[in-house]
Amino acid sequence: MLKPLLYPKYIVLILLVSAGCLYAERAAAQNELEYVGELGLSVGGAQYFGDLNTRGALNTLKPAVGIYYRKYMNDYVGIRLHGRYMQLGYSDTYNKNEFQNRRNLSFNTNLWELSVQGDFNFFRFEPGSLYERFSPYLTGGASIFYFNPYAYLNGQKYFLQPMRTEGQGSPLYPDRKPYSLVSYAWLIGGGFKYNISKKVNVGLEALYRFTQTDYLDDVSTTYAGPGAFPTFSNGQPTVAGQLQDRSGVKGTPIGVTGRQRGNSRDKDQFVTIELTISILFTSYNCKF
């Protein structure tokens, strides 16, 4: 004789099996794979613009490398922390303007930068997708950076800030104070990124900086003149006196006291152009 299926113990068993199947289905839906961020490297070039490079020429690109982490807020917005090391430099020998060429100033600097940026995709960007793996984007933010300009005289390297080449700290110019080697900048730029696999993104980015210093190149105002740089007891000029006006190499010196040496109305700027590659991070997040 067959036992009826409506006994309480069978009903409980059926309910438990059904609940288990429902839970397994829901757990699979809740544990959906989600991209949360990426850790990447950037490699490229950096170009300075300022009192020496007034034409905006991209003719002295120097190395730039960086490391960053980008946190995905959604498929369109990300927040990035980016650390970079780069070199900047320029020389009046590149200038065709007669005054600038005769001025004969030059500089180089190593620069360390830490930036915070917001990235905004034009298109929905979903790594691993067949159709949403590419997007141009805009980026903007702010950075803090350290620099220390230097130049060479007779083959010897000299850091320029301690030389006070525009009379900073001199009794003749009480309003001119030594400039800080730490400054900040506003950033704006854009680029393209492409997801080449479920774990790797590549991209190209150009990022422009509007700095808040006019001394990346150690040039800003007017010539302080020989009076601000007393000679040695034997009458020979000091290193600072030679570095503040180097036009004598090309003829009669033009560093007359009060003559324009740079343009103090505009701050210095620089740009980086970089290739990027990054490794993606994922997590399983509940969707219900």
Q: What is the pTM of this model?
A: 0.86
Answer yes or no: is 27 within a domain: no
Q: Is the pLDDT reported for residue 257 higher than 60?
A: yes
Q: Into how many domains does the chain fold?
A: 1
Answer yes or no: is 210 within a domain: yes
Identify residue 198 by its one-letter amino acid code: K
Helix H or strand E segment including 40 = strand 32-49
Nearest-angstrom CA–CA distance, 52 and 160: 15
Domain that holds residue 255: 33-285
- Domain CATH number, residue 39: 2.40.160.20
Answer yes or no: is 7 within a domain: no
CA distances from 210 to 219, 234, 262 (A): 17, 45, 18
Q: Write down the pLDDT at residue 284.
A: 66
Answer yes or no: is 66 within a domain: yes
pLDDT in tens, 68-126: 999 999 999 999 999 999 999 999 999 999 999 999 999 999 999 999 999 999 999 88
Answer yes or no: is 25 within a domain: no
Helix (H, G, I), strand (E, B) or coil at 255: coil
Q: Write down the pLDDT at residue 7.
A: 53
User: Hey, what long-range contacts does 188-191 have (CB within 8 A, 24 or more apart)?
Assistant: 188/138, 188/139, 188/140, 189/138, 189/139, 189/140, 190/136, 190/137, 190/138, 190/139, 191/136, 191/137, 191/139, 191/276
Answer yes or no: is 21 within a domain: no
Q: Is the pLDDT reported for residue 144 higher than 90?
A: yes
Answer yes or no: is 218 within a domain: yes
Helix (H, G, I), strand (E, B) or coil at 233: coil
pLDDT in tens, 14-25: 544 444 444 444
Answer yes or no: is 4 within a domain: no
